[in-house]
Amino acid sequence: MKPDVARIHIQTVHTFSQSHTWRAMDEFPRPWLDAAAGKMADWLSASAGSINRWYCGLFWASDLDSIAADRAFELSRRDDEGRFVSPSAFRSTLPSIDPAALALQLGITGPVMTFSIDADPIMAEQSARRWLLAGRLTAAIVIDEFAAKLEMPGTEDRHPISELTRTIRCQLMVSAPSDSSDSATRC
Amino acid sequence: MSTQAQAFTSRLGRPSQTVVIRGLGIWTPRYRSAAEIFTTMATPKSEITPSYAAASNPDAPDGAELWPDALAAISHGVKGWDIDLSDCPLVFASAKGDIRRTLRTLDQPGGAIPNLADDARRVALLCGFSTPVICLSTACVSSLAALCEAQLILATQPDTPRVAVITADLASNFVMDGFRSLRATAADLCRPFDACRAGLAVGTGAAWAFLERSRAKTNSMEIIGWGMGNDATHLTAPDPMGGGLRSAIEQALAVAGIPAADIDVLFAHGTGTPFNDAMEARVFAKLFPHRPPLTAAKGLLGHSLGASGLLELALAAEILQHRLIPPIFGLRTTDYPGLNPVCSQALRPDRPIRTILKTASGFGGVNAAVIVRGPAR
């Protein structure tokens, strides 16, 4: 099979950053993420309104996974009486739960893939390309979530109120029909 | 087949390549091979006990302590096949990875922020991979999603001869407490598809495999179909109508180019929770009216989260080889008349076993389906 990479269009790219505190990352619900998801949902709904959600996938890559939720859940796992206090907190410890929440908001019923990344920021995009080229998809929403690790607190104390900048980049990738003569915006 | 699936078949056409699985291996704390598990499952129930710790025992040892054993087994298993890894991408799949190490690393002053990709790199280093590592964490469908990803790598990168998939998830206290908090665990036995099922049991497991493009007939198990679908209905509960699972199965059938009637065995996710089993039963009854035999493994092994899909696919290979379907451990009486679960004794059907459907579903509404085919005899 010879993939036809020229038939993939990146229609829209949107990037925004959000600053919040390390402590805020531990809170449930996580308002900073809800706010970010809300922004993305609004934007994606406007951009992708005409796309068949059955042929659309969501590809999410993050360099933090669910680490804040992990730590918060670990600290709250049992209360003084040995009970398990927070089912919703446990749910949030899955790296794939934030993409799932976004897919739920957007009504995406194609594949929802979650990648843990370090140095390779295009892992989700590469996967989306594969699904567009050889899978069933005609559209893919790609979201990369980066935190500036050097700005993370933690050299002496893990709980300071200091700022973390999280950058979220969204892309909408569309596979053009085979009879399309349009040129790709980027391949 | 639904209109959407028909459209998909039309869009994709027939499969252009054959992909076989080589070097398929598994590890659990009790079992070291799929053949050993298969033999155990086919043994009369009174002689065996499940291999997971009961959720009613909160003082059970932390399963996370077994990570070194799992890593050693993976490394030994991968190297044992003497496969050239120099041009072999690795897809590592796990729902939670080594969460205890992650949290400890996080609490070390000055340490880097750890993530699952660290676990993937650790596995790659131990096994001798020098190629790119893709780290997937798609809840309990992680390893089946990794198989789909590996298929797509082979389909889109003609110069890549093979892709490795490695998966591991352990019954850490972290995960055990999480499922307890959700009240999703059975007090004692996990009983998939049983009328009295009361929840899942968290298990431990690892598995590894190489997917290779093949143009010649081989004696290896082929992956002939795959698909994924998302419910988009709820963050933890499955869609009662099974929309995502149905979509995944229909895609897999379309990729395989076979009708549902050609599926000889259903190898369910079968967590033993009321909601999951009900959802699966509804989808299976709808899509497979010929009621192929249904089996599941989590009654014996517990639910090893993201690793369970590939681990159970190794058991599917045993079914194809022995032409014998093991019973569902823990199942006494089912309340799903539309299903044909194998109960009490292993089943050797009159009809030859060529194709098996393996499914998985997970938190967030993710679903995956893989169809495998054994060699013709």
Q: Where are the domains of chain B?
A: 3-373
Where residue A22 falls among pLDDT bands split at 50, 70, 90? low
pLDDT given for residue B3 in this prediction:
57
Sorted by sequence, the CB contacts under 8 Å of residue B124 that are 6+ apart come out as B90, B92, B131, B133
pLDDT given for residue A88 in this prediction:
73
Please report residues of A whose CB lies closer than 8 A to that of B363. Answer: 91, 94, 96-97, 100
Q: Do A77 and B177 touch (CB under 8 A)?
A: yes
Statement: residue B151 has pLDDT above 50: yes
Distance from B350 to chain A by nearest Cα, in Å? Answer: 35
Where residue B10 falls among pLDDT bands split at 50, 70, 90? very low
Please report residues of B whose CB lies closer than 8 A to that of A120. Answer: 132
Question: Across residues A110-115, what is the average pLDDT?
Answer: 96
pLDDT given for residue A74 in this prediction:
84
Mutate which of B8, B116, B143 to test chain A, going by most A C-beta atoms within 10 A?
Answer: B116
- Cα–Cα dist B195/B343, whole Å: 13
pLDDT given for residue A4 in this prediction:
62
Could you tell me the two tokens for B242?
């099974």
pLDDT given for residue A164 in this prediction:
60
Higher pLDDT, B210 or A154: B210
Statement: residue A186 has pLDDT above 60: no
- Cα–Cα dist B73/B59, whole Å: 26
pLDDT given for residue A156 in this prediction:
43
CB B61 within 8 A of CB B171: no
Question: Across residues B231-247, what is the average pLDDT?
Answer: 94
Residue written as token pair 């009369």: B44
Pick the CATH number of B3-373 from 1.10.3720.10, 3.40.47.10, 3.30.200.20, 3.40.50.2300: 3.40.47.10
pLDDT given for residue A180 in this prediction:
42
Where residue A181 falls among pLDDT bands split at 50, 70, 90? very low
Statement: residue B271 has pLDDT above 60: yes
CB B84 within 8 A of CB B132: no
pLDDT given for residue A155 in this prediction:
43
pLDDT given for residue B4 in this prediction:
56
- Cα–Cα dist B228/A67, whole Å: 26
A38 in B contact zone (CB under 8 Å): no
A7 in B contact zone (CB under 8 Å): no
Phi, psi of B311 (to 5 degrees): -60, -45
- Cα–Cα dist B115/B37, whole Å: 32
Could you tell me the two tokens for B14?
């027939």
Q: Do A71 and B95 touch (CB under 8 A)?
A: no
Where residue A159 falls among pLDDT bands split at 50, 70, 90? very low
Q: Do B156 and A101 touch (CB under 8 A)?
A: no
Question: Across residues B178-204, what is the average pLDDT?
Answer: 91
Query: Could you give the percent of chain B with pLDDT greater than 90?
Result: 74
Q: Nearest by CB to A67, which of B106, B228, B365?
A: B106
Please report residues of B whose CB lies closer than 8 A to that of A77. Answer: 173-174, 177
Higher pLDDT, B230 or A64: B230
Statement: residue A152 has pLDDT above 70: no
Where residue A64 falls among pLDDT bands split at 50, 70, 90? confident
Could you tell me the two tokens for A129?
């390309």
Higher pLDDT, A149 or A187: A149
Statement: residue B293 has pLDDT above 50: yes
Question: Across residues B203-228, what is the average pLDDT?
Answer: 91
Where residue B374 falls among pLDDT bands split at 50, 70, 90? very high
Q: Nearest by CB to A123, which of B134, B183, B251?
A: B134
Statement: residue B77 has pLDDT above 90: yes
Where residue B236 falls among pLDDT bands split at 50, 70, 90? confident
Q: Do B364 and A97 touch (CB under 8 A)?
A: yes
Q: Do A84 and B117 touch (CB under 8 A)?
A: no
Q: A119-134, pLDDT tens digit by residue?
A: 667 899 999 999 999 9
CB B240 within 8 A of CB B283: no
- Chain centroid, CA B185 distance in Å: 19
pLDDT given for residue A163 in this prediction:
52
pLDDT given for residue B112 in this prediction:
66
Taking CA–CA distances from A121, the nearest residue in chain B reads B134
- Cα–Cα dist B164/B307, whole Å: 14
Where residue B358 falls among pLDDT bands split at 50, 70, 90? very high
What does DSSP assign to residue A93?
A: T
Statement: residue B103 has pLDDT above 90: no
CA angle at residue A115 from B141 to B11, to 5 degrees? 70
Statement: residue A111 has pLDDT above 80: yes
Q: Do B156 and A103 touch (CB under 8 A)?
A: no
A–B interface: beta-carbon pairs under 8 A? 194
Q: What is the largest CA-CA distance in chain A?
A: 67
CB B127 within 8 A of CB B168: no
pLDDT given for residue B56 in this prediction:
66
Question: pTM value?
Answer: 0.91
pLDDT given for residue B212 in this prediction:
94
Q: B24-56, pLDDT tens digit by residue?
A: 999 999 999 999 999 999 877 667 788 887 766
pLDDT given for residue B246 in this prediction:
98
**How far lies B187's CA from each of A86, B57, B58, B202, B305, in Å?**
19, 9, 11, 11, 18
Sorted by sequence, the CB contacts under 8 Å of residue B304 that are 6+ apart come out as B28, B169, B170, B171, B202, B203, B204, B205, B206, B311
**Helices marked H in A2-135:** 22-25, 31-47, 67-75, 87-91, 97-106, 123-134
Give the lowest-confidence range in A66-75, A167-176, A177-186, B186-195: A177-186
3-state SS, chain B, equals CCHHHHHHHHHHCCCCCEEEEEEEEEECCCCCCHHHHHHHHCCCHHHCCCCCCCCCCCCCCCHHHHHHHHHHHHHHHHHCCCCCCCCCCEEEECCCCCHHHHHHHHCCCCCCCCCHHHHHHHHHHHHCCCCCEEEECCHHHHHHHHHHHHHHHHHHCCCCCEEEEEEEECCCHHHHHHHHHCCCECCCCCCCCECCCCCECECCEEEEEEEEEECCCCCCEEEEEEEEEECCCCCCCCCCCCHHHHHHHHHHHHHHCCCHHHCCEEECCCCCCHHHHHHHHHHHHHHCCCCCCEECCHHHHCECHHHHHHHHHHHHHHHHHHCCECCCCCCCCECCCCCCECCCCCECCCCCCCEEEEEEEEHHHEEEEEEEECCCC
Where residue B128 falls among pLDDT bands split at 50, 70, 90? very high
Q: Nearest by CB to A113, which of B121, B132, B136?
A: B136
Q: What is the mean pLDDT of chain B?
A: 91
Q: Do B232 and A78 touch (CB under 8 A)?
A: no
Statement: residue A161 has pLDDT above 70: no
Statement: residue B330 has pLDDT above 50: yes
A149 in B contact zone (CB under 8 Å): yes
pLDDT given for residue B110 in this prediction:
60
- Cα–Cα dist B84/B320, whole Å: 27
Please report residues of A whose CB lies closer than 8 A to that of B241. Answer: none
Taking CA–CA distances from A153, the nearest residue in chain B reads B110
Statement: residue B217 has pLDDT above 80: no
Give the lowest-confidence range in A24-28, A153-157, B215-219: A153-157
3-state secondary structure of A9: strand
Statement: residue B108 has pLDDT above 80: no
pLDDT given for residue A23 in this prediction:
56
Statement: residue B351 has pLDDT above 90: no
Where residue B2 falls among pLDDT bands split at 50, 70, 90? low
Higher pLDDT, B236 or B232: B232
Residue written as token pair 């280093």: B125
Please report residues of A whose CB lies closer than 8 A to that of B156. Answer: 1, 3, 129-130, 133-134
- Cα–Cα dist B254/B249, whole Å: 9
Give the lowest-confidence range in B96-110, B186-200, B344-358: B96-110
